[in-house]
Amino acid sequence: MITYFYWFIVIAIAIGVLVFFAKMEHWKPALIGCAAVLLVGSLAYYFHFQQVFVKRYGGVMTIHVPEGQLHIAATWKDDNLWVENYDPLTNTCHFNEYSKGNLLQGKVTIKDCFPIAAQQYGGISSDSAGN
């Protein structure tokens, strides 16, 4: 809900800028101002507000598990989301950070990873992994 409110405000400001300059018949500044408001609003959302809205105010965010991997866990560290997935082909766990704007992403790879959930549900066994 907070995401919809954010975009409503950004679009309202963009339309307000457009109407303000259009009343004075300055169409070029009107279109440039409207585009600038939409660009700044989009960049601010993507690089700052998206994960803040999800974590603090119940926003919506979608992350896809890479093909061939199994999802294990997800956790927040400050305003960044860390997701752990298991790759049964290479027997590794990948712990990836989804930071604001995906600019600074951390990644931890755990080799010879035998997640308990994968063992319990038939994903792997210590015998089939070469032990």
DSSP per-residue codes, 91-122: TEEEEEEE-GGGSS--EEEEES---HHHHHTT
Write out pLDDT tens, residues 44-93.
Answer: 988 888 888 888 887 777 888 889 898 998 988 887 888 999 998 888 99
pTM for this structure? 0.61
Residues 6+ apart with CB under 8 A from 101: 46, 47, 48
Residue type, 106: G
pLDDT top residue among 70 and 104: 70
Separation of alpha carbons 12 and 8, rounded Å: 6
Separation of alpha carbons 108 and 92, rounded Å: 10
Write out pLDDT tens, residues 4-54.
Answer: 899 999 999 999 999 998 888 888 888 999 999 999 999 998 888 888 888
